[in-house]
């Protein structure tokens, strides 16, 4: 397994492999890898010849009051995990390397201002910008994203199409802890009590699904029940919304394939989760 730190070297590697007729599967991450990240690697391995994982904590997607500095990092452990999974390259650039020269941003418009974008207005602009830069460095055939960050997945898919990137964007299911909490690098911040309480997120999404399957179609009624359940804990709701899974716009009457998404603070830790109605 190689660790590549410059864009030029990364492009050289990818171009050489492509010249040999090999396909490149790409898994962008911010590191502190867990089984959720590794599920993307496994999927990529099934479909592509060479696997590139990027580890880059992207400063432009964090607001000044957010956790960029304290975001958990452990490159040694991450490399070990990648090696065991059969990753071919870890792309591990510095912020200077990625943002050298004048930074032009990739703007995502309205779809970046709803759901998580309401409380993190510059977040998806930062995500779209870094993913564009990573795509230009790695030149993948397919790129793998978790549905845990559902809004991110939809935005990247749209951006890839709009920018004419010739890359398949593959969405992968949410991997959960045994008790149902969606895996996240940020779970490491939780105190024992917060960790126990955070189970309510998945439970409240399951409640929404149960209400829908028993015939409740009114989005506000379901939204309220989910909010009430979360409010039984110390969790502070950022949002609970039921929305169309393509436009991300809120719906009044729930239909199959709509989604419910939420963001909740436990202490200072903001956790997100979502689920599709089936
Ligand atoms: P991050 O390191 O948090 O930026 O995540 C990198 C990628 O892993 C993103 O595409 C995430 O959606 C995905 N991911 C993170 N957690 C999970 C999870 N629990 N299940 C599936 N994918 C995940």
Tell me, rounded to whole angstroms, the distance of Cα 55 from its chain centroid. Answer: 13
Decide whether any atom of ligand 1 lies within 6 Å of the 148 Cβ: yes
- State residue 82 phi and psi, 5-degree precision: -65, -40
Dihedral angle over CA of 150, 155, 156, 157, nearest 10: 90
Decide whether any atom of ligand 1 lies within 6 Å of the 39 Cβ: yes
Task: Report the alpha-carbon distance of residue 165 to residue 156 in Å, rounded.
Answer: 11
Cβ atoms of 167 and 183 closer than 8 Å: no
Task: Tell me 259's DSSP state.
Answer: E
| Tens digit of each residue's pLDDT, the chain (278 residues) | 999 999 999 999 999 999 999 999 999 999 999 999 999 999 999 999 999 999 999 999 999 999 999 999 999 999 999 999 999 999 999 999 999 988 899 999 999 999 999 999 999 999 999 999 999 999 999 999 999 999 999 999 999 999 999 999 999 999 999 999 999 999 999 999 999 999 999 999 999 999 999 999 999 999 999 999 999 999 999 999 999 999 999 999 999 999 999 999 999 999 999 999 99
Q: What is the H or E stretch that residue 184 is in?
A: none
- Ligand 1, atom 10, residue with closest C-alpha: 145
Q: What is the pLDDT of residues 120-130, one digit of tens each?
A: 999 999 999 99
pLDDT at position 60: 97
Catalytic residue among 13, 26, 37, 38: 37
Active site residue 123: no
* Nearest of 25, 76, 73, 34 to residue 53 by alpha carbon: 25
Decide whether any atom of ligand 1 lies within 6 Å of the 37 Cβ: yes
Nearest ligand 1 atom to alpha carbon 147: 12
pLDDT at position 196: 98
- Ligand 1, atom 5, residue with closest C-alpha: 29
Domain(s) of CATH 3.40.50.620: residues in the chain: 2-172
Q: What is the pLDDT of residues 137-157, one digit of tens each?
A: 999 999 999 999 999 999 999
pLDDT at position 101: 87
Dihedral angle over CA of 191, 265, 68, 135, nearest 10: 120
Q: Does domain 185-273 have CATH number 3.30.499.10?
A: no
pLDDT at position 103: 81
Q: How many residues does the chain have?
A: 278
The CATH H-level (homologous superfamily) assignment of domain 2-172 is HUPs (3.40.50.620)
pLDDT at position 232: 98
Dihedral angle over CA of 208, 210, 212, 213, nearest 10: 160
Domain(s) of CATH 3.30.1300.10: residues in the chain: 185-273
CA of 170 to the centre of ligand 1 (A): 12
């Amino acid at each position: 397994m190689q660790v590549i730190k410059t864009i030029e070297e990364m492009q050289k590697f990818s171009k050489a492999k492509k010249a040999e007729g090999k396909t490149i599967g790409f898994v962008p991450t911010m590191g502190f890898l867990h089984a959720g990240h590794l599920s993307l690697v496994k999927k990529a391995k099934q479909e592509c010849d060479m696997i590139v994982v990027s580890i880059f904590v992207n400063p432009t997607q964090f607001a000044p009051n957010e956790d960029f500095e304290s975001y958990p990092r452990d490159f040694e452990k991450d490399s070990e995990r990648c090696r065991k999974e059969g990753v071919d390259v870890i792309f591990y650039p510095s912020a200077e390397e990625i943002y050298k020269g004048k930074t032009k941003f990739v703007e995502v418009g309205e779809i970046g201002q709803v759901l998580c974008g309401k409380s993190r207005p510059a977040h998806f602009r930062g995500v779209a910008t870094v993913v564009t830069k990573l795509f230009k460095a790695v030149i993948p055939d397919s790129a793998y994203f978790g549905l845990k960050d559902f809004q991110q997945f939809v935005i990247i898919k749209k951006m890839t199409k709009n920018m004419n990137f010739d890359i398949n964007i593959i969405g992968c299911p949410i991997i959960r802890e045994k008790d149902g909490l969606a895996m996240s690098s940020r779970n490491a911040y939780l105190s024992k009590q917060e960790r126990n309480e955070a189970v309510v997120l998945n439970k409240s999404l399951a409640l929404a699904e149960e209400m829908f399957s028993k015939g409740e179609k009114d989005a506000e009624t379901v939204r309220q029940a989910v909010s009430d359940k979360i409010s039984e804990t110390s969790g502070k709701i950022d949002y609970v919304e039921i929305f169309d899974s393509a436009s991300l716009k809120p719906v009044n009457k729930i239909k199959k394939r709509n989604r419910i998404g939420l963001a909740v603070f436990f202490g200072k830790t903001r956790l997100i989760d979502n689920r599709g109605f089936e």
